[in-house]
Structure 1
């Protein structure tokens, strides 16, 4: 029998032993001497508390064994050969790896668990636990051999067996993956071990996530700054470490004993990933997409992001000149959101439609579920009217409409760029449809522009009737507000007048004839009158 030794390597050096990998190599080994102590005496009564019965007889003919404390050169060891009697002071022991002795790696692992979870575990160094540990070793080495175990010792064996059940049992949520959908304990997830083993596990990891271990329940949540992907690890009963090497001491004359070491504790892991949402919005013109019309801009649109669960705004999206908003990040993904436009960009009408964000249908990329939506606004438009008349304005009269008068209207910034209305209009095919117009008056002298985009325009007459004066002056027209009433321009082109000089020539000589009293008629070639 033996006790867990924390100074095992120091002991090996003192004993002249060297480990290479997991193999024990003896070099210049000193003598290994067994010391036997029987604190409660020797008996042949199997019902004695400190004795057990056996179904077979030892080499000396006994079917009873008793509790004894065994050491090799001061190191606590346990009997691994119960059918041979011990000789106190036997010095003919040799050391080898326990694996070589048993040839059974799983058996050795279980012996290491029994050694670790029996005598000395949780401070129990009672002789009852020491004897119970020895008996459990015998039960593994020679199943069915031991009988007549005293109730006090059996109670300690039961404790060891309960601990072994933790080592060999399976926590129900071991190996699972937890997906957290937001920061804060409100988004925590709790795992419950239906096997009832997790209460015996120790937290032995630095996971970068927040956890709470309460009995068989594990609660996991994240706070800002925690890892997006991590693993939480828990060790059964004692902290995980590399196994302590095991040694078999064998003798040709005395009982074989072993230093059984400590097997690595069973470890379970839970994968944790944190999924967060992000929202960005792109503002576009309903008709021209990413190109604003007129003097309007896509910059400055504002949207409120509303949490559908709390009905509270969680952020504001504001667009830049390209129509791209800022990004709202670190959003919980276990809920839906609504986007409402609270301010339209300059030159556009407010879009009263609402966009909805549902992260459940969005694939996460590097733990982020990204929503990028597009909201289109209608441009503010306005129009003007022209009423074209002909009158000399000398007296009150019924005016005459001018049919066929032509006008062009071009966005002022294009006129500034090209230098004149006419030059700008030559490029009108490069403009948006609402950024220019060509008007021709009807028989009533009336013309109405198309709905022009928000902005300032230069209007100019380019053609009129031949017998009227064309309006040479340009003027500006502005669309500046939503639902702007049409502006009417009344334009009077007075009749064209000039002096007529008649010279009478001789038909044959072509010379000028000076005469008076002659009369002439002037004929309108259009009407022959």
Structure 2
């Protein structure tokens, strides 16, 4: 019985070797460069609940503890993307380098899963200078979890802490800033017209400024964005923000190192960051014109001019004294005092008066303004149309003329 089992294992191993050689001949070009895989154990382990296939021997490995290793391909940092397949560094199982996504598709990954692995790589080990062994292990574990989301347990707490950090970063990638793609209406120039946006998703804090148009000013505080414009700004435009790092830093490298009998390794460059845009529109500003008014009028009054002549010593009126009355060097007539020393002459007086000039402002594009802008114009005393402005100027000029003509009676 034991002899039969040994023969069976030997035949299985031989078949695997033959399959390997035929696979290399059929898949790898004759002059293609080959790449050798290697790994360094971190000593940080997690329990895997799935079966691992050993394609070299045709056997399987049951659930158990798995080292969260540092994988390399020709010495370059790489990640294992087939957690259910055993790896070998034997040159006979050397890998073929395949750029793009075709090899990932071949081993069962979707575009969404490839994107997620690329983001995990971009925001995990090495990001913000975190080259710790715990972050390395967490990054590899999370890449495995793309294909085996429920396949691991008993994760070391130090690794889980790094997993939580990466997941928090991924939350920014997979959630939208609440004001993303909004159009902000700016109702005037200067900080007094600033618009403040608050991100309820809590992710805007992780975005960097990519493009801020000329004449647009921003102020950031956590998840709050304050925007205002000066007069050099274009009437419309877009503000662009990139999550975690700028677009210019992305390489979008996606390389699979593939061998049918070996575990597939992958190298990811920085993936395009998530981009968030806010559009702005500077609302129509008021255009103004002026009207003016000045009024002329004749002041008319019928009066009696009175004179009283008395004796210097006795203070009694003197009769028969002749007086001639003048106004503006023009004689109004002559008369003599009566027995009481009084003399009276009637006079009709007319005088032309001119009011001051009064000006009013009106808005020529009233209907194009926002309600807030219209209210601001009203607060400045501006009118919505020319006729109302002219009527107000005329009324003020007439009121001033009336005051002038009435003052004539008072003086007389």
Q: Same fold (TM over 0.5)?
A: yes
Aligned to 1:228: 235
Aligned to 1:67: 68
- Deviations along 1:454-489, one digit per CA (max 9) or x if unpaired, are xxxxxxxxxxxxxxxxxxxxxxxxxxxx98xxxxxx
Structure with the larger RCO, 1 or 2 (CA within 8 Å, 6+ apart): 2
For residues 227 and 92 of structure 1, the distance between their equivalents in structure 2, rounded to whole angstroms, comes to: 58
* Secondary structure of the corresponding residue to residue 36 of structure 1: strand
Are residue 279 (structure 1) and residue 279 (structure 2) matched? no
- Out of 231, 240, 263, the position equivalent to 1:255 is 263
- Deviations along 1:82-124, one digit per CA (max 9) or x if unpaired, are 1222223545211224521333111111111101010011111
For residues 255 and 100 of structure 1, the distance between their equivalents in structure 2, rounded to whole angstroms, comes to: 16
For residues 77 and 355 of structure 1, the distance between their equivalents in structure 2, rounded to whole angstroms, comes to: 70
Q: Tell which structure's C-alpha radius of gyration is larger.
A: 1
Aligned to 2:325: none
Aligned to 1:514: none
Shift of 1:38: 1.9
Aligned to 2:131: 125
Are residue 35 (structure 1) and residue 38 (structure 2) matched? yes
* Secondary structure of the corresponding residue to residue 356 of structure 1: coil
Aligned to 2:83: 82
TM-score (norm: length of structure 1): 0.49
For structure 2, the 5+ residue unaligned runs are 1-28, 55-60, 296-356, 365-371, 395-403, 406-412
For residues 173 and 141 of structure 1, the distance between their equivalents in structure 2, rounded to whole angstroms, comes to: 33
Shift of 1:199: 1.2
Q: How many pairs were matched up?
A: 287
Contact 1:34 1:73 in 2 (8 A): yes
Are residue 51 (structure 1) and residue 45 (structure 2) matched? yes
Shift of 1:335: 3.6
- Deviations along 1:273-320, one digit per CA (max 9) or x if unpaired, are 11222112467999xxxxxxxxxxxxxx763559xxxxxxxxxx9xxx
* Secondary structure of the corresponding residue to residue 125 of structure 1: coil
RMSD value over aligned CA atoms? 3.4
Shift of 1:76: 1.1
- Out of 84, 95, 98, the position equivalent to 1:93 is 95
Shift of 1:146: 1.7
- Out of 303, 308, 313, the position equivalent to 2:359 is 303
- Deviations along 1:217-242, one digit per CA (max 9) or x if unpaired, are 00001122122211111112221256
Shift of 1:355: 5.6
Shift of 1:372: 6.3
For residues 382 and 40 of structure 2, the distance between their equivalents in structure 1, rounded to whole angstroms, comes to: 84
For residues 70 and 29 of structure 1, the distance between their equivalents in structure 2, rounded to whole angstroms, comes to: 22
CA change 1:39–1:170 in 2 (3 A) is: closer
Are residue 264 (structure 1) and residue 272 (structure 2) matched? yes
Aligned to 1:198: 204
For residues 238 and 358 of structure 2, the distance between their equivalents in structure 1, rounded to whole angstroms, comes to: 40
- Out of 290, 312, 333, the position equivalent to 2:373 is 333
Contact 1:305 1:338 in 2 (8 A): no
Are residue 356 (structure 1) and residue 383 (structure 2) matched? yes
Deviating 4+ runs (over 6 angstroms): 283-286, 371-374
Shift of 1:65: 1.7
Aligned to 1:114: 120
Contact 1:229 1:274 in 2 (8 A): yes
Shift of 1:151: 1.1
- Out of 206, 216, 220, the position equivalent to 2:223 is 216
Shift of 1:159: 0.6
TM-score (norm: length of structure 2): 0.62
Contact 2:291 2:361 in 1 (8 A): no
> Within 5 A, what are the aligned runs for 1:148-187?
148-187=154-193
Shift of 1:70: 1.6
Contact 1:236 1:265 in 2 (8 A): yes
Shift of 1:193: 0.8
- Out of 102, 105, 112, the position equivalent to 2:104 is 102
Aligned to 2:324: none
* Secondary structure of the corresponding residue to residue 65 of structure 1: strand
Shift of 1:142: 2.2
> Within 5 A, what are the aligned runs for 1:238-253?
238-241=245-248, 244-253=252-261
Are residue 139 (structure 1) and residue 145 (structure 2) matched? yes
CA change 1:27–1:264 in 2 (3 A) is: farther
Contact 1:304 1:339 in 2 (8 A): no
For residues 137 and 184 of structure 1, the distance between their equivalents in structure 2, rounded to whole angstroms, comes to: 49
Contact 1:305 1:337 in 2 (8 A): no
* Secondary structure of the corresponding residue to residue 237 of structure 2: strand
